[in-house]
């Protein structure tokens, strides 16, 4: 099934979790998956310009998966950087799915207030990840008036 995901960024310090997310993204038709184990590596990796058939592709990331608890730069800090709008390769409104072992409601509130599009509690399954992707991609961004 293709969900129009051309490029995804997966940031998690757990290799098995990154691999599971990759499986689901490939099933969704994602063409390019960038995976890193730490938030400090995420933004540089996402700005790499890819070449396909000799043509440069734009560096836009279509969806981001973030773990919360990572060394150096955690998921909440990554969300805030992306939502600030000043990062090349990222639309400030890119869907961000936080997949975390933090299971309490307060953590969910903090993540959503920071700008996560969806909060997913570990452990996850292929089905729950697929549902998360379809959920965030089906949402239509709405302009909020002050």
State pLDDT tens for residues 49-100.
Answer: 443 434 445 568 899 999 999 888 899 999 999 999 877 778 899 999 999 9
Q: What is the pTM of this model?
A: 0.85
Q: Which residue has the higher pLDDT, 142 or 40?
A: 40
Task: For 39-48, write each residue's pLDDT tens digit.
Answer: 888 877 666 5
Q: To the nearest 10°, the Cα dihedral for 106, 107, 109, 113?
A: 140
* Helix (H) or strand (E) segment spanning residue 110: helix 105-114
Phi, then psi, of 48 in degrees rounded to 5: -65, 130
Mean pLDDT within 6-18: 94
Residue 145 in this model has a pLDDT that exceeds 60 = no
The DSSP code for 144 is: P
CATH of 7-138, one of 3.40.50.300, 1.10.540.10, 3.40.50.2300, 3.20.20.70: 3.40.50.2300
Please report which confidence band the pLDDT of residue 116 belongs to, taking 50, 70 and 90 as the band edges.
Answer: very high
- Report in angstroms the alpha-carbon separations of 112 from 24, 43, 133: 23, 21, 16
Q: What is the mean pLDDT of the chain?
A: 84
CA 137 to CA 146: how far, in whole Å?
25
Per-domain residue ranges of the chain: 7-138
């Amino acid at each position: 099934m293709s969900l129009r995901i051309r490029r995804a960024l997966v940031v998690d310090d757990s290799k098995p979790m990154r691999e599971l997310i990759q499986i689901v993204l490939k099933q969704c038709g994602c063409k390019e998956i960038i995976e890193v184990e730490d938030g400090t590596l995420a933004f540089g990796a996402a700005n790499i310009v890819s070449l396909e058939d000799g043509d440069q592709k734009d560096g836009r990331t279509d969806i981001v998966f973030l773990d919360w608890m990572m060394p150096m730069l955690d998921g909440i800090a990554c969300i805030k950087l992306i939502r600030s709008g000043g990062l090349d390769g990222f639309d400030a409104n890119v869907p961000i799915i936080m997949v975390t072992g933090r299971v309490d409601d307060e953590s969910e509130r903090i993540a959503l207030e920071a700008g996560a599009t969806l909060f997913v509690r570990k452990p996850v399954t292929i089905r729950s990840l697929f549902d998360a992707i379809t959920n965030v991609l089906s949402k239509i961004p709405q302009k909020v008036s002050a």
